[in-house]
Chain A
Amino acid sequence: GQSLEQPSEVTAVEGAIVQINCTYQTSGFYGLSWYQQHDGGAPTFLSYNALDGLEETGRFSSFLSRSDSYGYLLLQELQMKDSASYFCAPYGGDKLIFGTGTRLQVFP
């Protein structure tokens, strides 16, 4: 079967660091994508991890441990505009599987 777990909501203040965890169980796994979606907006691609380890892109970093079926998205120097929903999406070679996402609220 397939399962995907993320926290439903995370709150933080501007300038802080927040980590959004993702555990997955899929039949077939190639890598883990992360998407951001602002309220009323479309999902936008943030990152993709095919190999174990940390990938850094500006203020955002994404980590994958294939042996633990675990990944996380790390957001540094939080800004108000980072308030959005974040989805981890395992890629099984043919399609992405989106979970219910994590709603991040950044407070001043």
Chain B
Amino acid sequence: EAEVAQSPRYKITEKSQAVAFWCDPISGHATLYWYRQILGQGPELLVQFQDESVVDDSQLPKDRFSAERLKGVDSTLKIQPAELGDSAMYLCASSLRPSGTIYEQYFGPGTRLTVT
């Protein structure tokens, strides 16, 4: 069964350092999402891509976060510099068609980030 791949699974970094996460969505899924999930809360959408274009990045802290999906397939989320409050699970998800199935998203295993 096809899955969303993410790496690394765990990342410990010191504050002010740069960190990057990678996501490979299910093959053929045009829409890709990055979420942040703080322990005890639900996922919060950071950025949504349609192919290689950003559709929604209204909740992305653009002073320190950046995301790209250059060829419309895999994607990278970067934080520079990391702050203590960035400690969270970063989840990547994908869905099949541009709008028809946004309500049905497939999530990767996530990257657990700890900033010290």
A91 x B103 contact (CB < 8 A): yes
The reply to whether A43 and B44 form a contact with Cβ atoms under 8 Å apart is no
A99 to B107, CA, bound (A): 17
- The range of chain A's interface size is 20 to 34
Indicate whether A45 sits within 8 Å of B106 (C-beta atoms), given known contacts A94-B55, A95-B56, A99-B42.
yes
Given contacts A43-B91, A101-B42, contact A96 B102 (CB under 8 A): yes
Q: Which range contains the number of B residues in contact with the other chain?
A: 20 to 34
Which B residues lie within 8 Å of A48 (CB)? 103-104
User: Once A and B bind, how many residue pairs between them come within 8 Å at the CB atom?
Assistant: 49
B35's nearest neighbour on chain A, judged by CB, is A98
Q: What is the bound-complex CA distance between A89 and B107, given in angstroms?
A: 14
Q: Which of A54-108 contact B (CB under 8 A)?
A: 87, 89, 91, 93-96, 98-101
How far apart sit A94 and B91, CA to CA, in the bound complex (Å)? Answer: 18
**A19 an interface residue at 8 Å Cβ cutoff?**
no
Q: Identify whether the interface residues of A are mostly helix, strand, loop, or mixed.
A: loop
A100 touches B91 (CB 8 A): no
- The 7 closest A-B CB pairs, nearest first, are A98-B42, A42-B107, A91-B103, A33-B103, A48-B103, A98-B43, A43-B107
For the A-B complex with A87-B42, A96-B45, A98-B42 known, give 14 more contacts whose Cβ atoms are closer than 8 Å: A42-B110, A44-B107, A89-B103, A91-B102, A93-B99, A94-B55, A94-B102, A95-B48, A95-B102, A96-B105, A98-B43, A100-B40, A101-B41, A101-B42
